[in-house]
Structure 1
Amino acid sequence: MRTEIGLGLQSDKPAGTYARLARSAEAAGFDVLTVFGDLMYQPPIFPLLEMAGATSRVRLGPACLNPYSMAPYEIAGQIAALDLASHGRAYLGLARGTWLGAVGLEQPRPLTALAEAAEVVARLLRGDGTEFAGRVHRLAAGTVLRYERQRPAVPLLIGAWGAQGAALAGRIADEIKVGGSANPDMVPVIRERLRSGRDVGIVLGAVTVVDTDGEAARAKARTEVAMYLAVVAGLDPTVTLPEGLVEEVARLVDGGHDEAAGRLIPDDVLDRFAFSGTPAQVAAQAQRLIDAGVRRVEFGTPHGLTDDRGVELLGSEVLPRLSR
């Protein structure tokens, strides 16, 4: 199966920007456009609907929504709207969510909440009006969406690193996304953790900074990675980090010294958690993931020294170098 190449966008841009980037990405040959669902950024549905109207081929979806800050019936409604606006090109990404303590949300029974949210969404999309009595989520008999849907189902992606989350994806999802990783050594780890005979696609995505000035690109990527290294470093069992690195990077980031924190990150560590450098360097990183058997490579924000330049280089200089 041909490997898809996706573009992951942060929802921090003014109206009109998403449509422009989406048109450029589709024309360049990207297959999937994703909008992140990070805390305190714009809700993904806004940029996704804008991009749906500006494109005709690419798949579109949020990665990821969570069942704690958004009720499953609202998730179903938003994904139904996106599927309608895109004429059947939507996918749904679900994850437990991160940093929700900042807005006072607890996350009890995360695997149960995810599984039941996916079930509620699936029932509402297909018009199943039978009662669903879960441990976290419920639907009373006769509860159905009161409008037509484009399709009775959309592809489901689960965002997870760990064994239990991956096993859940193995049971119910079409794809699993390992966010914040550009590490081909994680692919066999995730494949083993899926514990499934089903065909579940593995997606790896991470911060991407590409530029003809490779050193400037890698310097910016280091700063970006520093801000989430403490979150993802402990999730990757294949990486051995220099002693004290995570603690010192976290200390500097907490003090507002992101660039100084980034300068501490060695080249080999950077390449596990970001795509960065010249187009040839970024293409070589992506090719290693393709060769490892991923279903999709996702190039995440900020893409380049500027968004537009990064997307242009990814499309014109990186994609043509890939064998997939």
Structure 2
Amino acid sequence: MSDGEPDSGLESGADPTWGIELTPEHPPNRIADLAALAEDEGFDLALSSSHYFNRDPFVVLSRMAAATDEIRLGPGVVNPYETHPVKLAAQTATIDEVSDGRAVFGVGAGDRSALANLGVDRDRPLRRVLETFDVARDLWAGETVTHEGTFTARDASLNLDEREIPVYVGAQGPHMLRMSAKHADGVLINAAHPRDLEWAAGELERGLAERPEDRGAFESLAFASVSVAGAEDDAREAARPPVAFIVGGAAEPVLERHDIDRDAAGAVSEALEQGDLGEAFDRVTPAMIDAFCIAGTTETVAERFEAAVEYVDGIVVGSPLGPDLEDAIERASEALTRATTD
């Protein structure tokens, strides 16, 4: 979506954005090599995901910046609970500096269960995310900021040159979607299925109707769990872990939208809460994979991508990518080419 219009970028003639999520469960140098491969394969955006149990996304992004030339880079996504928003602004500005202006700021409310593991209460998430990137924008503009709201900052400023960094909000629920369309530069919709993306597009339209004219262009991206491989069964098996976590955090209306059995979803969620990951993954059903992941061969994934881009301006190919990461990046690029070429 762009220029405040609710129609997708594809319908307006713009090229779709190709993004990829690289999860730093591997050493930074390997992630940097994957980012370089993604750039060679035509991707426009590479995000390093942020989970406390993996490597630090900003350290990894610095390696990704050194290994690439043009691809945009950013956290996908950080939350303003584990780290103070002013610190997040400084870290993102540093990535923008070392990448010669290629940074984006992917920010969201974070996973409630993961934050609970750290004893963090995810209170007032909508307001906290909005305040976080409002303050970041002021800091990037060279201002000294005093803020009292969901967090406190007094006479805070950054010792960096002024810079403009686009903000992409990770969103799934209606309020966060509408807020992103009204205030941010883009949205990362946590969904893979056309049914969810169509619903999200309607919520974004409501936010865009209230978007100030001076906000400029807005881009909607499906941040979709994807698993692609040469064999359908291999791709679907690799999809089990991320789908389990998606199901564990899915709201009741989302489960209803896909006719996911509540008891089956509850069993996955309960296993996750108990820390029994193997049990949680085993309890993922085929219907859950169909609803929450784009999984299969290159041909299957291309068909799903084509259906998705009816409602968004582009796709971020999210975790797990596939059983073989290098192969999956190449296959995802081929699938995107098939899906977005007339």
1:265 counterpart residue number: 286
In the alignment, which residue of structure 2 is the partner of 1:62? 75
Deviation at 1:226, TM superposition (A): 2.5
Q: Show the counterpart of 2:195.
A: 185
The match for 2:125 among 110, 131, 143 is 110
Query: What is the rounded CA distance, in whole Å, between the counterparts of 2:228 and 2:248 in structure 1?
Result: 23
Match for residue 265 of structure 2? Answer: 246
Determine the structure 2 residue equivalent to 1:214.
232
- Residues 1:171 and 2:182 aligned together: yes
TM-score by length of 1: 0.89
Inter-partner Cα distance in structure 2 for 1:163 and 1:227:
20
Amino acid at match of 2:150: V
Counterpart AA for 1:260: D
| Structure 1 Cα separation of the partners of residues 282 and 309 of structure 2 | 33
8 Å CA contact retained: 1:161, 1:235: no
Of 118-127 and 163-172, the range deviating more from structure 2: 163-172
- CA–CA distance in 1 between the matches of 2:81 and 2:267? 32
Structure 2 CA distance, aligned partners of 1:252 and 1:74? 34
Contact 2:238 2:320 in 1 (8 A): no
Distance 1:226 1:311, change over 3 A: same
Using the alignment, how far apart are the partners of 2:147 and 2:67 within structure 1? 40
Cα distance in structure 1, aligned partners of 2:286 and 2:252: 15
- What's the Cα RMSD here? 2.1
What does the per-residue CA deviation read over 1:47-88, in whole Å, with 9 as the maximum and x for residues that have no partner? 111111111111111121111111121111111111111111
Distance 1:223 1:94 in 2: 23
Q: How does 1:30-109 map to 2 (within 5 A)?
A: 30-98=43-111, 99-109=114-124
Question: Matches of 1:7 and 1:286 in 2, distance apart?
Answer: 13
Deviations 1:6-33 (A, max 9, x none): 1111111113101211111111111110
Q: 2:283 and 2:296 mapped to 1: Cα distance?
A: 19
* Shift of residue 108, structure 1, vs aligned partner: 2.2
Determine if contact 1:19/1:54 at 8 Å carries over to the other structure: yes
The answer (yes or no) to whether the contact 2:39–2:68 under 8 Å persists in 1 is yes
C-alpha distance in structure 2 between counterparts of 1:42 and 1:51, whole Å: 13
Please name the residue that 1:284 is paired with.
303
Match of 2:336 in 1: 319
- Code of the residue aligned with 2:310 in structure 1: it is D
The percentage of counterpart residues that share the same residue type is 26
Contact 2:229 2:324 in 1 (8 A): no
Measure the CA separation in 1 of the matches of 2:128 and 2:261.
36
**2:151 alignment counterpart:** 137
Rounded Cα–Cα distance in structure 1 between residues aligned with 2:70 and 2:252: 37
Unmatched 5+ residue regions in structure 2?
A: 1-13, 212-216
**Aligned counterparts, 1:196-207, within 5 A:** 196-197=208-209, 198=211, 199-207=217-225
Distance 2:279 2:220 in 1: 34
CA distance in 1, matches of 2:241, 2:167: 32
SS at match of 1:93: strand
Distance of aligned partners of 1:81 and 1:223 in 2 relative to their CA distance in 1, 3 Å threshold: closer
Structure 2 length normalisation: TM-score? Answer: 0.85
Q: Which amino acid aligns with 1:127?
A: G
What is the CA distance between 1:101 and its match in structure 2? Answer: 1.4
CA contact (8 A) 1:275 1:299 kept: no
How many matched pairs?
A: 314
| Cα distance, 1:154 vs structure 2 | 0.7
Runs of 4+ in 1 over 6 A off after TM superposition: none
Deviation track 1:150-189 (CA, whole Å, cap 9, x = no partner) reads x2x211011121122122212211111122x211122332
